[in-house]
Amino acid sequence: MMKQHFDQSPNKVLKKDIKDYGPDSCSSEDDDTVDQIQVIKKETKKQRNSVSAEAYGMFNKRENFKPIVIAKSQDTKNKIYKRINEAFMFNCLDLKEREIIVNAMEEKRFKSGDQVIKQGEEGNYLYVIDEGQLDCFKKYQNQPEPTYLKTYQPGESFGELALLYNAPRAASIVSKTPSVLFALDRETFNHIVKDAAMKKRQKYEDFLTKLPVLQSIADPYEKTKIADSIEQKCYKQGEIIVNQGATQGDIHFVESGEVLAMKNGQQVFKYVQGDYFGEIPLLLSRNQPFQFISNANNTSLLIVGEGNYKNTLVIVEKQLKANLSKYNGQI
């Protein structure tokens, strides 16, 4: 029962599509989550394109920003550092920025059944989970009851959409067990985290939308999470990307350039834009049978690390496993 509400204050690639990816080439779907996020994106684009007076206003606001410091023990600070170092949302921040976040975060405790976020209301905090589990529900337009979406675990964060897009809360979050959360206020989020987080999402979301292996994902929010988790790396011609025998199963998507899969010195596969590789150790719990080498001077790869797989790509595991047939007995 909800008691309280606290959130007041080598596969075939569609090469043409992928080459043309850009903010306006998103596919449309008719569920209301999609509509909501797309509407929000349009508004955000408008905001970004608007006159320089707004930019001037933003600049002034930045100048006026006075970091909040909420007193806390060194032990609590250490816990917050640990959590923000693992959360995607804070990946791009430097040490000084991380310190500002740690100072501003406030520990909040919830009992089992407490409602932390209520869909449709204004949102003022982003939350990072330190302890406990929280359930996420979403009420869709044509359904009488909210749909259960997922259970959040320690280390994960939620509540960023309302702050990123200046929109009402897109789902409800209820504490399933007693929980300890670190809450970051809207103002600190806007000044320190928002720009970098938005940039990363916008940079990769449209590319991911066009990838055949991700086509079965209906909820665009799932693609957003993949975008958050991506690490981009560039490789020169001839550079080794993954060694034969590697135990790590990071999944590499080719953003541009070309990659060769080699087995015992022989080329066995070629990967181009939109293809992915590296998944075999993760899916089959065995060593990597190929060596992967860059075959272009600026091969750009978008990598989802094995550690992030459960929160991101596990949703397409069936498809990833079905696609293993492309290796035609080479593994």
- Contacting residues toward ligand CMP, per CB under 6 A: 33, 117, 123, 136, 138, 149, 158-162, 169-171, 173, 219, 221
**Rounded CA gap, 266 and 253, in Å?**
22
Min CB(33)–ligand CMP separation in Å:
5
Min CB(90)–ligand CMP separation in Å:
15
Instruction: Give whole-number Cα distances, 144 to 41, 226, 279, in Å.
Output: 27, 30, 40
Report how far Cα 56 is from the mean position of its chain's Cα atoms.
30
Report the DSSP pairing between strands 251-256 and 134-138: unpaired
**Rounded CA gap, 280 and 182, in Å?**
36
Q: Which of 274, 51, 272, 321 is nearest to 313 (CA)?
A: 321
Q: Which CB sits closer to ligand CMP, 207 or 221? A: 221
Q: Which CB sits closer to ligand CMP, 127 or 207? A: 127
Min CB(135)–ligand CMP separation in Å:
10
Name the amino acid, one letter, at 31: D
Q: Which CB sits closer to ligand CMP, 29 or 219? A: 219
Min CB(331)–ligand CMP separation in Å:
34
Rounded to the nearest 10 degrees, the angle between the axes of helix 194-209 and helix 220-229 is 120
Min CB(171)–ligand CMP separation in Å:
4
- Given a contact cutoff of 8 angstroms between Cβ atoms, the answer to whether 76 and 131 are in contact is no
Tally of CA atoms within 13 A in the half-sphere of 273 that contains its CB: 14
Q: Give me the DSSP letters along 9-64.
A: ------HHHHHT-STT------SHHHHHHHHHHHHHHHHHHS-HHHHHHHHHHHHH
Min CB(168)–ligand CMP separation in Å:
7
Q: Which CB sits closer to ligand CMP, 44 or 323? A: 44
Q: Which CB sits closer to ligand CMP, 40 or 230? A: 40
Classify residue 125 by its DSSP letter: E
Q: Which CB sits closer to ligand CMP, 160 or 255? A: 160
Min CB(6)–ligand CMP separation in Å:
12
Q: Which CB sits closer to ligand CMP, 13 or 208? A: 208
List the Cα angle 236/240/242 in 5-degree steps: 130
Q: Which CB sits closer to ligand CMP, 204 or 290? A: 204
Min CB(218)–ligand CMP separation in Å:
10
Q: Which of 231, 238, 218 is nearest to 305 (CA)?
A: 231
Instruction: Give whole-number Cα distances, 291 to 13, 45, 167, 262, 278, in Å.
Output: 22, 42, 46, 5, 9
